[in-house]
Amino acid sequence: MDHYPDAPARVSDITRIEAQLSQIAETLQTLVRVETRQAEQDRRIVSLEERTSDTDKEILRVDRKLDKWIWLATGAWAVVVCLFEVYRVYAMQGH
């Protein structure tokens, strides 16, 4: 009465295929999770790069101000040394 003599073989094939499809579905879910994590990490990295860029700009601005004050202080000391030398030479001449 069985019109399909190889029915048990078909059932085992179907079961094997279902197991493989289940494994493929799990693998795809894992890949989707990995891709989602990578996308989130990319957003975080971009955000950090932007903040780092802003910090670098601020550091450069502070460095320029510091260099300005160093040059001003160096110039002030040069003027003081010159005035002291003028005073010393004038005082050595007996005036």
pLDDT tens-place string over residues 46-84 = 999 999 999 999 999 999 999 999 999 999 999 999 999
Decide: pTM greater than 0.85: no
* Amino acid 1: pLDDT: 45
pLDDT band for position 4 (50/70/90)? low
Q: Span 15-38, mean pLDDT?
A: 95
d(CA 75, CA 82): 11
* The amino acid at 7: A
Residue with tokens 């994590």: 37
